[in-house]
A and B are shown apart, each in its own frame.
Chain A
Amino acid sequence: MVPTNYYLLLSAILFGLGIVAFVFKRNIITIFMAIELMLNAVNLAFVAFSQARGKPDGEVFVLFVIIVAAAEAAVGLGIIILTARNRRSLNVESVNLLKL
């Protein structure tokens, strides 16, 4: 049997890696992937808890999260396309017209 702690720890690590990715990557799309990664980490935590407690609603949450993620993906990629179209670059650092 795998202790729940392990799952939680893994989710924490993945979440952290997501954060790292977010601040480390420059390409907008990959940054967005980082967010997806974080959401996955959250999902893992949800499932782990729900299984540990034997309460299925946690998995329902996971479904919701996935739906939200999908929606975000649609909109996010739309925004990314828009950005890429407006300024011919996907480098997040080149998008800094608004500042100060």
Chain B
Amino acid sequence: MNAPLVIFFVLAAIAVLGAVSLIVQRHPIHSALSLIVVMVALAGLYLLMGAEFVAAVQIIVYGGAIMVLFIFVIMLLNAGEEERTNFSKLALYAGIPLAVAVTGLIAAALVNSRVAAALPPAGPATLTSTRTLSTLLFTEFVYPFELTSFLILVAILGAIVLAQREN
């Protein structure tokens, strides 16, 4: 029972608990906050694996930008507690079981896959420098990278189109 394992379990527990609380919380703000918790926990795990750049991005972009955006919107629409309506009988009765089933199947498949088992443990042993990432980003993956720029453009466009008031 070495240190990394302990840290892993702690962070994993936090992440899972965060996710659960995201579900059980009634108020969107609380859900958002619990999601942030999850993300931070994940960032920790990334660090644990030695992917510190990703961890940073996770914190800054995800936990920072995106979630802030969420909270901002929640505030804007001053969304209150969600009323737990059950118009969808299907979701009421089959929803959770099916979700669990899917999860179970995926997990089972994962656990039983020889490949996954054979993988060497992911650890800081292989520490990826930001340099290598950027090189990859600008040589091998330059095309998708450029495309993402257009993607962002589309997103901005969308925000303009959708959120603008009627003129």
Contacts and interface: CB of A to CB of B under 8 A. Distances in A.
A and B touch in the complex (CB under 8 A): yes
Interface of A: 1-10, 12-27, 29-30, 32-34, 36-37, 40, 43-44, 47-54, 56-57, 59-60, 62-64, 66-75, 77-82, 84, 90-91, 93-94, 96
Interface in B47-77: 48-51, 53-54, 57-58, 61-62, 65-66, 69-70, 73-74, 76-77
Contacts of A32: 70
B88 interface: yes
- DSSP class of A's interface residues: helix, strand, loop or mixed? helix
B167 interface: no
Interface of B: 2, 4-5, 8, 12, 15-16, 19-20, 22-23, 28, 31-32, 35, 38-39, 42, 45-46, 48-51, 53-54, 57-58, 61-62, 65-66, 69-70, 73-74, 76-77, 79, 82-85, 87-88, 91, 95-96, 98-100, 102-104, 106-107, 110-111, 116-117, 119-123, 126, 128, 132-133, 136-137, 140-141, 144-145, 148, 151-152, 154-156, 158-159, 161-163
